[in-house]
Structure formats: C-alpha cells, structure tokens
Amino acid sequence: MTYKKPVQKLAGKIREITLGENLKLGGESVLPFYSFDGDTGHKPVIGMEIWDVHPENWPTTVMEELGDRVRNPVEWAKFCEEKYKPDFLCLRFVGANPDMGDRTPEECAQIAKEVAEAVTLPLVIAGCDSNEKNGKIFTKVAEALADKNFAFLSAVESNYKEVGAAVGLAYGNIVVAESSVDLNLAKQLNILLMQLGVKPEKMLMNPGCSAVGYGYEYVITTLDRIRLAALDQNDATLQLPIIMPVSFETWKVKESAASVEDVPEWGDQEERGIAMEISTSVGILAAGANAVVLRHPRSLEVVREFINSLIQ
C-alpha cells in the first residue's frame, strides 16, 4: 500500500475583520496552522498591553526599559510602537477600577484620544474589573474615537446592550463579545449583539481565557468546539475572529507572581512569567485565537517567531 495523505476540507470560513485601517484578522478556512489543508487566512496578530496608570508588579526588565514613560500612556504607547513593533496596542483602563483611582469615563476618553493621535497602530480598548463601569467608559471612549474601527474589550452578558449600542452602532467601532468558556454562551451573546443590530464586521469574540493550569482545558475545548462549529458545521454566528487578552490572566497566577523569596526552588520570577505568557498564548493560538494581547517584549518576540515558523 502507498501512503495517502489525509486532507480535511471544511465548509465554513472565518469572517475577515479589519481592525483600525488595515490590520486584517481571520479569513481562514482550516483549523489553526493547518496549511496542509488549505488557506490559513491572515496571520495571527499580537498586541501589547499599556495602562493608564503606573503599573504595579510588572516585570523588572520591562519597567527598566519603559522607564519614566510608564507615567504617561502617550509616551508609553509611542515607545512600544517604535521599539517592539507589535501589530496593535491594547490600552487598558486599570485606573478606572473603583479601588485604583476610579478614573471617570470622560478622563478615559481624553487619554484614549491622545494615545490614538500619537500612534499609527490600531488600538484595542480594555476596561477595568467592573462590567458596569466599563459600559460607561466604553461609551465615552467610543464616542471620542468614533469610526476608528478600534476594538473594545469587552461586551459581556450584563452590559452588551449598552456597549453594543455605543461601540458598534453609534460610534462605528468593534465590539468584542466576551463569554465565559462555553460554546453556547459564546453563540448566544453573538446572536444577541447581532439582533441588537451590530454588524458582524464590527464584531470579534473572546470566549474566555485563562492561564495554563487554571481550567485551561475548558478554554482549549471551547475554542476547538467553536472552530469546528464555524468551519465544519458552517455556523455563521461563530465565524468571527477571536481575540484574547492573555497577559491579563497569566501575570497574576502564582507561577508568575510568586517572588524568588516566596519559592526559592522555582528560580527567576521573570522567566516564569514569560514562560506562562508564551505557553498560554501558543496553546490558544493553536486552538483558534486570531489575536493575543501580551505584556513582555520577550514573549512578543517568541510568539511572533513561532507564528512565522508555522505560517511562511
């Protein structure tokens, strides 16, 4: 017998979504990195995390490289764009947390506007830990950045009407539908947003992310099932590119957060943090994510090289 290489032809295709002016996501008609089956679409993209406040507990070498620029999100964003060349920037309003200064939506909008004017990369806007507050922040920021086609992390079940209406309908930006690690919840939220009138080309999804070791099997299985539903069963409500803020999850788990004094045998803390960030990213990229947000420039470099060596 001679070898007959198997090929999997799938019926569906992930929708092509443009972030900002010309950063294209999705478009694949095969499982992640399955170039042997067909068209892998646009290369997965990587964004870097920027905060509106001085970060606490960030890796030492990152803080050293950023220097005083971390006091000013505009300077910080410019520096990242030039030095690390990510595909997009993720501006995260940590300072809007009630216990972190409770920054007002108007102030957030002002900062977002200044950052957007200072850089050429597309932005992804992330909120704070309160979904209620995020509804308000996103409304103001989306207004200030009207029709920029920037993505907003995220609309969840409890605020999707407010976020969807402002971000996706009124101000021409992209709504990221975030659900918690379940195919049906992801599908349901996508449908609700579409019923609200948000066009699929103004949508991305985040079906729930965690760090490796922390219920990560649910994340991978949810991604597997979403991608099979979209590609194999041609389910149009799930054919959206996926974006995941990996760094939001990986840097707070103990593998990254415990100091060498806490756990001497674990060795260098920063190495551990980078490794958790890389492994978590690669795992979800291999299961279907089209975009990840990272914190450490070293992770960016490695994940980019990884993507490039699988898609030439």
Partner 1 sequence: MALTGMDIYKLLPKKNCKECGFPTCLAFAMKLAQGGVEAEKCPYMSEDAKTRLSEATAPPMRTVRFGAGDRCYTLGGETVLFRHEKTFVNRPRFAVAFSDTMSNEEIQSKIERMNKVDYIRISEEMYVEIAALECKSGNKDTFLSLIKRVKDGCKKAVPMIITSDPEIARAAVEECRESGPILFGADEQNYEAMVNLAKQYNLLLGVTALDQEKLYDLVQKIQNLGYRELLLSTGSTALKQVFDDVVNIRRTALVSQDRTFGYPTAVFAHKLAKEKMMQLAIATLFVEKYASVIVLDDIDYSLALPLFALRQNIYTDPQRPMRVEQGLYRIGSADENSPLLVTVDFALTYFIVSGEVERSKVPAWMLIPDAGGYSVLTAWAAGKFSGKTIARAVKEFAVEEKLKTREIIIPGKVAVLKADIEDELPSWKVVVGAEEAALLPKFLRDYTGKKVS
Q: DSSP H helical segments within 27-93, as ranges?
A: 60-66, 73-84
Nearer to partner 1 by Cβ, of 244 and 287: the residue is 287
Q: Which residue in 118, 192, 194, 286 binds partner 1 (CB under 8 A)? A: 286
- Please tell me the distance from the alpha carbon of residue 212 to that of residue 225, in angstroms, as a whole number: 18
DSSP-assigned beta bridge partners for residue 126: 92, 153
Per-residue binding string, partner 1, 168-207, x by CB under 8 A, is: -------------x--------------------------
DSSP-assigned beta bridge partners for residue 204: 176
* 309 φ/ψ angles, rounded to the nearest 5 degrees: -80, -15
Single-letter code of the amino acid located at 53: V
Please count the CA atoms within 13 angstroms of the CA of 18 that sit on its side-chain side: 7
Nearer to partner 1 by Cβ, of 59 and 122: the residue is 59
The CA–CA distances, whole Å, from 94 to 53, 54, 104, 162, 312 equal: 7, 9, 12, 20, 37
Q: Which stretch binds partner 1 (CB under 8 A): 12-20, 76-84, 167-175, 254-262?
A: 254-262
- Please tell me the distance from the alpha carbon of residue 12 to that of residue 26, in angstroms, as a whole number: 12
Q: Which residue in 4, 56, 195, 261 binds partner 1 (CB under 8 A)? A: 4
Show contacts with partner 1 in window 205-234 (CB under 8 A). Answer: 210, 212-218, 220-221, 224-225, 228
Nearer to partner 1 by Cβ, of 6 and 120: the residue is 6
Among all chains, which residue has been given the structure tokens 């806490």? 262
Nearer to partner 1 by Cβ, of 34 and 172: the residue is 34
Single-letter code of the amino acid located at 194: M
Q: Which residue in 5, 22, 147, 195 binds partner 1 (CB under 8 A)? A: 5
Residue pair 30/38 in contact by the 8 Å Cβ criterion: yes
- Check binding of 2 to partner 1 (CB under 8 A): yes
Q: Which stretch binds partner 1 (CB under 8 A): 46-54, 84-92, 159-167, 295-303?
A: 295-303
Residue pair 205/245 in contact by the 8 Å Cβ criterion: no
Segment (H or E) for 205: strand 203-206
Per-residue binding string, partner 1, 256-285, x by CB under 8 A, is: -x-------xxxx--xx-xxx-xxx-xx--
Q: Which two tokens stand for residue 90?
A: 């993720």
Number of residues written out for the chain: 312
Least distance in Å: CB of 159 to partner 1? Answer: 12
* Tally of CB atoms within 10 A around 252: 12
Nearer to partner 1 by Cβ, of 64 and 267: the residue is 267
Segment (H or E) for 224: helix 216-231
Least distance in Å: CB of 6 to partner 1? Answer: 4
Nearer to partner 1 by Cβ, of 125 and 145: the residue is 125
Q: Which two tokens stand for residue 32?
A: 């992640």
In the 8-state DSSP scheme, what is residue 295?
Answer: S
The DSSP bridge pattern shows strands 243-244 and 291-294 to be: parallel
Count, residues near partner 1 per rule CB under 8 A: 62
Show contacts with partner 1 in window 34-63 (CB under 8 A). Answer: 34-36
Per-residue binding string, partner 1, 66-105, x by CB under 8 A, is: -------------------------------xxx------
Residues that bind partner 1 in the complex, under the rule CB under 8 A: 1-6, 8, 33-36, 97-99, 129-131, 181, 210, 212-218, 220-221, 224-225, 228, 252-255, 257, 265-268, 271-272, 274-276, 278-280, 282-283, 286-287, 298-299, 302-303, 305-306, 309-312
